[in-house]
Structure 1
Amino acid sequence: MEGNLRWVALTAAAPVAWGANYYVTREFLPPGTPLYGAALRALPAGLVLLGLCRQRPSGAWWWRSAVLGLLNVSVFFVLVYVASQLLPTSVASTVMAMSPLAMMLIAWVLVSERPGVAHLAGAGVGLGGVCLMLLTGAGGASVPGVLASVAAMCVSSFGYILAKRWNDTGTDVLASTAWQLTAGGLFLLPAAAVVEGPPPALSASALLAFGYVTLVATALAFVAWFTGLRHLPAGTVGLVGLLNPVTGVLLGTVIAGEMLTVQQLCGVALVLAGVVLGRSGRARRRGSTTLRLAARTNSGPPRRRRAVVPLHAVRNRADRAVGGEHSS
C-alpha cells in the first residue's frame, strides 16, 4: 500500500506541472508558432534525458519510439500549444480532465485492464467536477481551442496506453521517454521550418519559460508519468491526471486573474474527491482480495503429519526382514 502511494505521489508531479504549463504557454511563449513551440519543448528535453541514460533504441524500439514520439509528442504538443493560446488557462486544462474515462476504455482494449467500479465512480465524480468548472461562462472559450484540447486528450490517451503496452520490464523508463521526446522533436523541427519559416525571436522571459516547459513540464513530468503507467493501473493514473485541471484553475485564478466562483470551487472539490474515491476503492478491493486468499489458504482439513522414523529403527527392521527370509 505504501509503495503504491509513493508511485501515486510521483505520478502526480506530471499533471501538476502540465496544469502550470498552460499558464506559462499562454502568458510567455510566442503566439502563432505552435510547431516551433512544440519542437523547442520536446527536442531539448529528449536530448537532456538521452544524455543522462546514454542508451539507444534497439530492435522494435526504433519504430516504437517513432510511433510514440509522433503521438505523445509531435501531435500532442502542437495541439496543447494551440489550445493554450486560444483558451483561458482554466478552460484549457479542464477539457483534458476527460482523459481518465478515455484511458480506462483504451486500456480495457489494449492491455486488458478492465476498469473497476471504484475507478469508474471516481472518474464520474471527477468529470462532474470538470463540468462545474467549465460551465461557468468563462470568456474566450473559442470552438477551435476546445476542439484542439479534445483532440489532444484523445491522442495522448491512446499514446499513453500504447506506451504502457509496449513498455516491457526490460526497457528503462528514462530511456524510452528520451527516445519518444527526441523522435517527436525531430519530426517537428523540419515541419516548423517549412510551415512557419525562421524560428521566432525569443525574449528573456520566453527563454526562461521554455526552460520551465522543457525541463519541468516535459523531461521530469514525462518520466514521472510513464513511471506511473508502468507501476499503476491505467485507471489510477487517469484519476491522478485530474490534478491537471485543478492546477490550471487555481493558477488561472491566483496568477492570471481569472475569476474563481463558488461553482468552480465545488468543481475542484469534486475532482479531488474523484481521485480519493478511485484510490480508496482500489485499496479496499485489494484488502478484501488478500483476506479472501488468506481465508482460502487457512481453510480445509488439517494436514496429517507424517511420523519421523529414526534411522536406527529402519536398520533394525531391515535386519529382521533379512533374517526372516533366511530362516524360511
Structure 2
Amino acid sequence: MKNRQNVLTAALTGLAPAVWGSTYLVTTELLPLDRPFLATIMRALPGGLVLLALGGKLPVGIWWWRALVLGILNIGAFNFLLFFAAYRLPGGIAAMIMSAQPVFVVILAALFLAERIRAIHALACAMGTGGVVLLVFRGTASLDTIGVLAAVGGALCMASGITLTKRWGRPEGVGLLTFTGWQLTAGGLVLLPFWLWLEDLPNGLTGSNVIGFAYLIILGAVLSYIVWFRGIERLPAVAVSFLALGSPVVATLLGYLFKDQTLSALQIVGMVVIFLAVVLGQPCPPKTKSEETSSAPPRTLVSHLPDQPALEQERSG
C-alpha cells in the first residue's frame, strides 16, 4: 500500500517538471519576444498574490526570512540564472549542466537531511546526466565561463531549494496553497529590480500573449508548484530531484510535435535512460512481512534447552 502511494505521489509530482518543460514552447509561440524577466515575473507574482489573498495569512517570526530564502532559491534566483545561462550558452548546454542537480541534492540531503547516499543513487545520477546529453547535445561548442557558472548556480539553487523545503517543512497551521503563495510572491518581488533594469514594457499585448501569460500563471506556477511542494513533503528529497529530469524530455517532445524539430534514435535512447534514472531514484518499496520473516535468522533448538551449568547441577543432585 505504501509503495503504491509513493508511485502515485511521484507521478503527480512529476507533472510539475512536465509543465515546466512546456514553458519554452509557450514562451516562443505566445509571449512577447525577448522579455524573459517579464515572463518570469508574470509567472510567479500574480499567482502568488492570488494564493496569498485566498490564504489570508502572512509569514510570522522566522518564516519571514525562510519564505524569502525559499522564494529566492526555488523561484527567483533559479529562474534568473536559468534564463541568463540560456542566453550565454549554446542550445542544450545549459540543460546538460542543469542535469547535475540530482548530484547536488544527493550530497545536500546526506549533509542536512540524514538521507544515506546509496550506490543506486550514484548510478541514477550518472544515467540521468548521460540521458540528457543524448537528448540535447548537438556537437562541440565553445563554452562561456559566466554562462557555465550561471547554469551551475541554477542547479545549486534548485537543489538547495528542494533540500531546505524538505528540512524546514511547513509551519503548523499553514496550508499548502498559502505556503506556495509565500514563495511565488517572494520570488516574483526579487525579480522586479532585474526586470526594471534590463527590460522595457512591451508596446501592447495580443490575444496570444494573454493566453500565454494565463498558462504560465495557472499551470506554470500555481498548480505546478503546489504539486511540486506537496511532493517534496511526501517523498525523499533525492527522489524529487530526479523527477525534474522530465522537463527536457517534455521540451524535446513538444518541439518535435509542434515545431518540426527532429527526433533521432539517440534522443529516444536518451529518453529511455532518463526514465530509468528517475525510476532508480525513487524510494525502494518496503519489505513485506513474508520478506522480513524469510530474512530473519532461523531459530535454533539450542535456545529452547536449559543452559549447560543447570544440567550439570541437576545431574550431580
TM-score by length of 1: 0.79
Write the deviation string for residues 205-233 of structure 1: whole angstroms up to 9, x where unpaired: 22211111121111111111111111101
Residue from 219, 222, 240 that aligns with 1:219: 222
Counterpart residue number, 1:278 = 281
AA partner of residue 64 (structure 1): R
Hey, what's the Cα distance between the residues in 1 that align with 2:117 and 2:91?
30
Matching of residues 234-313 of structure 1 within 5 Å: 234-279=237-282, 282-283=284-285, 286-287=286-287, 291-292=291-292
Maintained 8 Å contact 2:30/2:209: yes
Residues 242 and 275 of structure 1 are in contact (CA less than 8 Å); yes or no, is this contact kept in structure 2? Answer: yes
CA–CA separation in structure 1 for the residues paired with 2:225 and 2:46: 13
Indicate the larger mover: 84-93 or 234-243: 84-93
Q: Does the 8 Å contact 1:23/1:89 carry over to 2?
A: no
Question: Residue 99 of structure 2: SS of its match in structure 1?
Answer: helix
Equivalent of residue 106 in structure 2, options 97, 104, 107: 104
Query: How many pairs does the alignment contain?
Result: 298
Q: How does 1:134-173 map to 2 (within 5 A)?
A: 134-137=136-139, 148-168=150-170, 170=172, 171-173=174-176
Distance, in Å, in 2 between the alignment partners of 1:146 and 1:297 is 53
Matched to 1:252, the amino acid is: G
SS at structure 1 position matched to 2:59? coil
Alignment of 1:107-118 (within 5 A): 107-118=109-120
Q: Secondary structure at the match of 1:282?
A: coil
Asked whether the 8 Å contact 1:107–1:234 carries over to 2, the reply is: yes
Helix, strand or coil for the counterpart of 1:127? helix
Give the conservation status (yes or no) of the 8 Å contact 1:93–1:244: no
Q: Which has the higher helix share?
A: 1
Report the more deviating stretch, 178-187 or 109-118. Answer: 109-118
Q: What amino acid is aligned across from residue 292 of structure 1 in structure 2?
A: E
Structure 1 Cα separation of the partners of residues 157 and 9 of structure 2: 24
The two structures, once aligned, show a CA RMSD in angstroms of 3.2
- Amino acid across the alignment from 1:44: P
Q: Return the alpha-carbon distance in structure 2 between the equivalents of residues 58 and 173 of structure 1.
A: 16
Question: Is the contact made by 2:92 and 2:137 (CA closer than 8 Å) also made in structure 1?
Answer: no
User: What's the counterpart of residue 124 of structure 2?
Assistant: 122
TM-score, scaled relative to structure 2: 0.81
Over the matched positions of the two proteins, sequence identity in percent amounts to 35
Q: Which amino acid aligns with 2:4?
A: E
C-alpha separation in 2, matches of 1:204 and 1:142 = 37
Separation in structure 2 between the aligned mates of residue 89 and residue 20 of structure 1, nearest angstrom: 16
Cα distance in 2 for partners of 1:259, 1:197 equals 33
- Give 1:248 shift: 1.4
Provide runs of 4+ in structure 1 moved above 6 Å.
86-89, 138-144, 297-301
Unaligned runs of 5+ in 1: 302-328
Which residue does the alignment assign to 1:320? Answer: none
**Equivalents in 2 of 1:141, 1:261: separation in Å?**
24
Residues 169/197 of structure 1: CA separation in 2 closer, same or farther (3 Å cut) = closer
How far does residue 15 in structure 1 lie from its aligned partner after superposition? Answer: 0.7
Q: Distance in 2 between matches of 1:169 and 1:288?
A: 34
Distance in 1 between the 2:51 and 2:300 partners?
A: 55
Shift of 1:56: 1.7
Which structure has the bigger radius of gyration?
1
Q: Name the CA distance, whole Å, in 2 between partners of 1:20 and 1:70.
A: 22
1:209 to 2:216 alignment: no
- Residue 76 of structure 1 is matched in structure 2 by 78
Does the CA-based 8 Å contact 2:44-2:187 persist in structure 1?
Answer: yes
Structure 1 residue 299 displacement after superposition: 6.6
Deviations 1:230-285 (A, max 9, x none): 11011111122221121111112222222221111111111111122333x712xx
- When residues 92 and 253 of structure 1 are mapped into structure 2, their CA distance, relative to the original with a 3 A threshold, is farther
Please state if 1:232 is matched with 2:227.
no
Q: How far apart are 1:128 and its partner, in Å?
A: 1.6
